[in-house]
Amino acid sequence: MDPSANHHPGKGLHIGHPWPLGASLTARGVNFSVVAPLATRIELLLFSHGDATEADRIVELDQRHRSGDHWHVEVEGLGLGSCYGYRVFGALQPGGHGFNPSKVLLDPCARAIAGWSGYGRGSAVGAAPNTSQCLKGVVTERDRFDFHHAPRPRHSWQKSVIYELHVGGFTQGPGCPVAEEHQGRLLGLIPTLPYLRELGITTIELLPVMAFDPHDAPAGRHNYWGYSPLSWMAPHPDYLVGDDPLNGRNQVRQLVTACHRAGIEVLLDVVYNHTTEGNQDGPTLSWRGFCDRLYYQQSARGDYQDVSGCGNTIAANRPLVRRLILESLRCWATELGIDGFRFDLGIALSRGDNLAPLDTPPLFEEMEADPDLSDLKLISEPWDCGGLYRLSDFPARRVATWNGRFRDDLRRFWKGDEKTCWTMAQRLSGSPDLFTNAPVHPGQCITFLTAHDGFTLADLVSFNGKHNLANGEDNRDGDNHNNSWNHGIEGPSSDHAITALRERQLRNLLTSLLLAPGVPMLLMGDEVRRSQGGNNNSWCQNNPLGWMHWQPDEGDLALRLFLRRLLKLRAHLAALFNPEQSIDETPQRRSSDRGNLWRQWHGVELDKPDWASWSHTLAWSLQDSRQGPMVWCGLNSYSKAMHFELPACPNGWLRVIDTALPPGDDLPSEPQPWLPTGAPLQSRSLMLLVAAPLLKGAEL
């Protein structure tokens, strides 16, 4: 092509190219490209620095700068750190909203953001200009992560243990082992990696770290969790050290490099189902100003359709929107080294026009076909706020799902509810009732007891109801159905009988989680009884209520030791709890068969499980046709002690776990032989016996 064909009259300006999206370096300067299908013209505003209140230069883009839905221009003489924004012109859309050229817009593909010190969310509403309070995109490099010196750990699903944490909350608080200047920051996670490794964590899952709007909250509060995305490309500034937006990407790389070298994977909780712009009355900050009819699901008359609970829903079924989401995923995975993603309300991304559920949503099809994303861990919530819930039939082959039924049924069983034995057995055997008896694919089922949204584990056994008054909404926010139990007194107690029972229940719940097939996820601080005072929706609590508990007492340390040994036990017996392996529920027919275990269900009597609605006792064993019983586990959620019959073990049983015993003895480092033919289980306790040869050489 004749180079002059790409030249446009004007000092140092060229037509540019539609790809790549965003601002990218060229030999002459910077190429800018944005998507705005319905726009009639666009202005590119160039600022001298991030805090500038007026643009130094305005570059007008007309139809000659347009390739289909893409608008582009190349500007000579610009380089790294250049700050910019857009004004977009076009006709108003149905409903009276759409283009608002008085607003300076943030490029949806900007990999860094400047202007935070003068940013005003309120200035993005209405007709008045917001130039003096706008955010600006920053031109950055797009270098690939150095996987040669910091390769992905690539833990199999079978050996993965996920730990969900909040970057700001995990790296601050009294006793935090993080230097003051790094507290609340991404770099502050690096000194905590030995703690996580010692505990037995293979994978950390970070609550949103993409730039979000902390002011997207009612008056007097701040958005702390970050489920209010302002950008899908740039890291959140409050998690960075210093005010240089170009250095932010390197800080992400520093963290990921340290994690990889420690053998820990990094997953991001990503929010592609909605943005911080809210409904049609919300601020015009980015997506809305370029083309709200493109990015947001709307009715024919222009009303925003909402299954996110946040005022808008991203139209992820549309090609141009999919391209932006995929570009975001590639940015974090290939440029910054991230190992996987957890999709907030991910099933919302499977909705088509008019919110119709799609069996083959194109976003996930393209994601699974993308070679840059093929080796990542992908996880999703299988529900949204519009009532769509697809757990076992999530419409994406490689995406694992949070098993909310697992959480609820384990809580209900140990709480002592009726009609829970059969459902508990289903959860402990991989949820075959939910997955229609078909073998699950590797990592399909994420099992968990607690997550950021809801009670912590300590609060689950200490409160009957939520206590969210600190959130300023008169306790109306947060889930009302927690399946929790305070065991006699609401909140902290000095009654030894109550506290002892709570301690036992913590161990019952954790053991049930980690002995079940699936990929377990733990919540930040559950290992040291972190409490939020009964608050089950701490989205705005950037204070000790939402921080990690770094000053554990004796009881906290005892639970952490229990969990550490439990994770070592799970790792040692990984073949028995392999989420990729289907375990038969009936005996093997040929004694010569090897390697195929079968599970046998019991009650207090062998081979006689009690599935009655009033039953609170359950036992199971894993059998090998040649070696006999390998594992026996008894669970008693009844209010009285029960005596269980045991299958004979030719190689001898070792008592590995007995949650009724005092801390330290409940899961000893050296399990002792168990000689009795029966197992007395105290009220609300669990016992695990393992055939002696299986633990030969094991260190707990």
Structure token digits, residue 453: 């949204």
Mean pLDDT of the region 609-627: 93
pLDDT at 2: 37
pLDDT at 97 over 70: no
* Mean pLDDT of the chain, nearest integer: 93
Mean pLDDT of the region 397-404: 93
Mean pLDDT of the region 538-556: 97
| C-alpha span between 569 and 691 (Å, rounded) | 13
Helical spans, DSSP H, in 42-94: none
Sign (positive or negative) of CA dihedral 46, 51, 52, 54:
positive
Regarding the domain delimited by 598-695, which CATH topology (the fold level of the hierarchy) does it fall under?
Answer: Immunoglobulin-like (2.60.40)
pLDDT at 596 over 80: no
Residues 6+ apart with CB under 8 A from 344: 208, 227, 269, 270, 271, 272, 273, 381
Mean pLDDT of the region 99-128: 95
Q: pLDDT tens-digit profile of 53-72?
A: 999 999 999 999 999 999 99
Active site residue 381: yes
| C-alpha span between 407 and 611 (Å, rounded) | 20
Catalytic pick among 344, 384, 409, 526 = 344
Reported confidence tier of residue 439, pLDDT bands at 50, 70, 90: low
pLDDT at 566 over 70: yes
User: How does DSSP assign 276-303, residue by residue?
Assistant: TT-STTS--SSHHHHHHHHHB-B-TT-P
Catalytic pick among 205, 216, 381, 409 = 381
Q: pLDDT tens-digit profile of 654-691?
A: 999 999 999 999 999 999 999 998 999 999 999 999 99
pLDDT at 443: 74
- CATH 3.20.20.80 region(s) of the chain? 158-452+497-525+541-572
pLDDT at 590 over 80: no
Q: Cβ of 127: how many Cβ atoms within 10 Å? A: 8
| C-alpha span between 116 and 224 (Å, rounded) | 16
Q: pLDDT tens-digit profile of 257-311?
A: 999 999 999 999 999 999 999 998 999 999 999 999 999 999 988 889 999 999 9
pLDDT at 3 over 50: no
Mean pLDDT of the region 590-604: 74
Structure token digits, residue 648: 């004979």
CATH number of 158-452+497-525+541-572: 3.20.20.80
| C-alpha span between 498 and 506 (Å, rounded) | 12
Q: pLDDT tens-digit profile of 471-489?
A: 999 999 999 999 999 999 9
| Distances 418 to 143, 464, 610, 615, 617 between C-alpha atoms, Å | 57, 17, 12, 7, 11
In DSSP terms, 42 is beta-bridged to 61, 88
| C-alpha span between 512 and 516 (Å, rounded) | 6
Q: pLDDT tens-digit profile of 313-359?
A: 999 999 999 999 999 999 999 999 999 999 999 999 999 999 999 99
- CATH 2.60.40.10 region(s) of the chain? 3-138
pLDDT at 438 over 80: no
**Class in CATH terms, 3-138:** mainly beta
pLDDT at 441 over 80: no
- The three-point CA angle 510-516-517 to 5° equals 140
pLDDT at 381 over 70: yes
Q: pLDDT tens-digit profile of 502-534?
A: 999 999 999 999 999 899 999 999 999 999 999
User: How does DSSP assign 638-655, residue by residue?
Assistant: SSS-EEEE----TT-EEE
- CATH 2.60.40.1180 region(s) of the chain? 598-695
Mean pLDDT of the region 562-576: 93
